[in-house]
Amino acid sequence: MIPDEVIQIARDIKDMRIRGAGEIARAAVKTLGITVLNSKANNVQELLEELRYTARMVINTRPTAVSLPNGIRYVAKKVNDELKRNPTLEELKETVEKAAEEFMVNSQKAVERIGEIGSKRIKKGDVLLTHCNSSAALSVILNAANQNKDIKVFATETRPKFQGHITCKILRDAGIDVTLIIDDAVRLYMNKIDTAIVGADAISSNGALVNKIGTSTVALVAKESRTLFFVAAETYKFSSETMIGELIEIEERDTEEVIDREELEKIGNPKVLNPAFDVTPPQYIDLIITERGIIPPQAAFTILQEEFGWLGGEKEYLF
Ligand code: RI2
């Protein structure tokens, strides 16, 4: 019933061949469009059933990045509004395709806008540090470089999956002066850094950031050495569930990403943990750059209220 292409995208998200919170949201929303294109539904109810099936499947791939359910929720809201008018099957299909396209275009535009807005906060000659690989954070850095601000960037490796290598490649291709460091070298070099800038997988209503494991250490060390700590995040990464006190789940990934079985055996089979994300408290964050403007972390609740009203936590995204 589910198109092969949808199953493949879900797998690619789970195995991180498609990764980055924004990218997985766009891929998830795309599966709704694919579901409609391949639909065998004879009526509106059957189409909704197919969409529900696809939505649940992709939402379950990665639990932390709230952008994923928020992307689905965007399309579901348009569908639910349209249902009030008793649409035909064809009309409803069109609504899904249009809403999915709209989300994908808008989310890409949001990343560009974050780059324009955030780059204004980067000064000529600044030395920046980034952790993992975030298209929103890179948008700020690349925009600043395009304005001839003569910046230098330190990029952490980001164990265990080394997304820092992707960051280095992108920045080097843009001709930027980049230094790759191991994650543990962050404190040694922090006194050389003017601003640390990272992306977000989720932001809670109190302004706490959930991002790649190691981010909270970068923030802590930045605070200690009075280095600025910026977050670049589209507003669809803000978690409405946290408005009613729900916690953001931290994804635990396969421990083989940390150490393979053979090596593990050699060292006496200790237990291994592989959390993909950690939580940075709002008091370590100087500002959050969104496509709507720059906010202090304390304003996260206001963003959520504007975006979702008082419906936080009602899991409205289900069709
Ligand atoms: P953009 C990534 O998660 C990183 O944690 C990154 O900081 C965040 O998503 C945001 O990325 P993962 O998919 O949306 O590598 O800014 O686990 O690209």
173 and 286, same structural domain? Answer: yes
Ligand 1 contacts CB of residue 234 (under 6 A): no
Q: Domain containing 134 — which CATH number? A: 3.40.50.10470
- Known catalytic membership, residue 201: yes
Residue after which a domain boundary falls, among 113, 145, 170: 113
208 and 159, same structural domain? Answer: yes
Q: What pLDDT, on the 0 to 100 scale, is given for residue 308?
A: 77
What's the CA gap between 232 and 294, in Å, rounded? 9
Partners of 277 in the β-ladder: 212
Share of the chain above pLDDT 70, in %: 97
130 and 50, same structural domain? Answer: no
Q: In what order do the strands lie in the sheet with 209-212?
A: 202-203, 209-212, 277-280
Residue 158 contacts residue 212 (beta carbons within 8 Å): yes
Q: Domain containing 66 — which CATH number? A: 1.20.120.420
Residue 319 pLDDT level (bands cut at 50, 70, 90): confident
Which atom of ligand 1 is the closest one to the Cα of 16?
Answer: 13
Which atom of ligand 1 is the closest one to the Cα of 277?
Answer: 5
Domain range spanning residue 266?
114-310
Report which protein residue has its CA nearest ligand 1's atom 6.
134
In total, how many domains does the chain have?
A: 2
pLDDT digits (tens, 9 = 90+) for 278-291: 999 999 999 999 99
- Known catalytic membership, residue 254: no
78 and 206, same structural domain? Answer: no
316 domain-assigned: no
Tell me how far the alpha carbon of residue 67 lies from the centroid of ligand 1, in angstroms: 10
228 and 130, same structural domain? Answer: yes
Q: What pLDDT, on the 0 to 100 scale, is given for residue 318?
A: 73
Report which protein residue has its CA nearest ligand 1's atom 1.
134
What's the CA gap between 87 and 81, in Å, rounded? 10
Phi/psi at 245 (5° precision) = 90, 5
pTM for this entry: 0.96
Tell me how far the alpha carbon of residue 20 lies from the centroid of ligand 1, in angstroms: 3
317 domain-assigned: no
pLDDT digits (tens, 9 = 90+) for 99-153: 999 999 999 999 999 999 999 999 999 999 999 999 999 999 999 999 999 999 9
pLDDT digits (tens, 9 = 90+) for 87-98: 999 999 999 999
Report which protein residue has its CA nearest ligand 1's atom 9.
20
Q: What pLDDT, on the 0 to 100 scale, is given for residue 227?
A: 98
Q: How far apart are the first and last CA of the chain?
A: 17
